[in-house]
Amino acid sequence: MTSDMTRRELEVADLVMLGLRNKEIARRLGLTVGTVKMHLHSIYQKLRISSRMQLAVIMHDANELLPQQPDYNGPDDFARSIDEAYRAIRERKANGGPGWGGWE
């Protein structure tokens, strides 16, 4: 899943979590809006999701899971925390919980 995400896709996903629009993401990362859209399409496929809100929820939960310790290993640990957040959301939804934070 996220182990297949590129560093750039992780950057785009993180900026989505912060609420930035595609145009703002493109400007920050020095990309075109079309390239940002292509990255988002790839992210959605890799995470098997269909909306920006679902991505934002995963990224928010992943950030909550990040260890606040000196042994934090950057993008690899972040990718693992995204995987954990994704599994937790799917499990909550399967058990009748809120899933995507009520944003189905």
For the CA atoms of the chain, what is the radius of gyration? Answer: 14
Pair of tokens at residue 56 = 């934002």
Q: pLDDT per residue over 43-63, tens digit each?
A: 999 888 899 988 888 887 777
How far apart are the C-alpha atoms of 51 and 4, rounded to whole Å?
Answer: 19
Closest CA to 93 of 80, 78, 104: 104
Q: Which has more confidence, 86 or 12?
A: 12
What's the fold here for domain 2-94?
Answer: Arc Repressor Mutant, subunit A (1.10.10)
The residue extents of the domains of the chain are 2-94
Region for residue 96 given its phi and psi (left: phi exceeds 0; alpha: psi -120 to 50; beta: otherwise): left
**Confidence at residue 69, expressed as pLDDT on a 0 to 100 scale:** 46
How far apart are the C-alpha atoms of 77 and 73, rounded to whole Å?
Answer: 5
Displacement of CA 70 from its chain's centroid (Å)? 23
**Confidence at residue 104, expressed as pLDDT on a 0 to 100 scale:** 47
